[in-house]
Amino acid sequence: MSTSTLFKWRHFLPEIILVNVRWYCRYSLSYRDLEEMMQERGMRVDHSTINRWVLRYAPELDKRIRPPLKPTNDSWRVDETYIKVKGAWKYLYRAVDSEGYTLDFMLSAKRDGKAVARFFRKVLRAQHTQTPRVITIDKNAAYPVAIDELKEDKTLEAETKLRQSKYLNNIIEQDHLNIKRIVKPMIGFQSFNTVRRTLRGIESMKMIRKGQVKEISRGDSVSQFSFINKIFEVSA
């Protein structure tokens, strides 16, 4: 979709929309926090409007950062964390490589072998990933079941090693903390689709901050800001 079509009929400039989406998905802020921050800058934007922007453009950000992502390595660390949706816990499956680069993520209503297998297939379809040499997991019994299924249908190579080690999985458990920190001020989600779309923006911003995008260094916030404007064809 072209940028002109993407922002058509919006009452605010694309750069204003993108800065709100970027801040919400990057920092521990609520929609009302952003409403106040915009007021300080002379712009009256209702928090419900910012909410609609995030739900519309966070998935688009996720889609647009995928092509320039750097390749990840073949040592996977896989784990799941919990996200509360309308008072019930849902499961966010996440995977990183041994360098801490994000492989992919998936929100699931269930925590079982079928969900794990579906997640692994999603990771393997990503453009920046490769078939794993080793997969490090915790003691969740659903992972071996899923691995056996994927080896049987040739999705995974028979030589792929499954390794259960809480110590080696510390890297992804620490990685979860950033997601939890950002989600905390959001005061709970009211629908599965809302959290799924929002998480796509949060995870995308995390990948950008890690330095996973080609030619963007970790911690270079100016280049990261410019990159987001560039992929949406918006001048800063």
Domain at 85, CATH number:
3.30.420.10
**Bridge partner residues of 85 (DSSP):** 88, 189
Residues 61 and 205: their CA atoms lie apart, in Å, by 9
* Residue 52 forms part of a structural domain: yes
Give me the tens of pLDDT residue by residue for the chain, a chain 236 residues long. Answer: 556 688 987 889 999 999 999 999 999 999 999 999 999 999 999 999 999 999 999 999 999 999 999 999 999 999 999 998 988 999 999 999 999 999 999 999 999 999 999 999 999 999 999 999 999 998 889 999 999 999 999 999 999 999 988 777 889 999 998 888 898 878 678 899 999 999 999 999 999 999 999 988 887 888 999 999 999 998 76
pTM as predicted: 0.93
Question: Would 236 be classed as within a structural domain?
Answer: no
**Domain assignment of residue 160, given as a range:** 75-178
Whether 89 and 45 share a structural domain: no
Residues 46 and 123 in one domain: no
The tally of domains found in the chain comes to 2
Last-in-domain residue among 178, 200, 220:
178
d(CA 53, CA 12): 11
Q: How many helices (H) and strands (E) does the chain have?
A: 9, 5
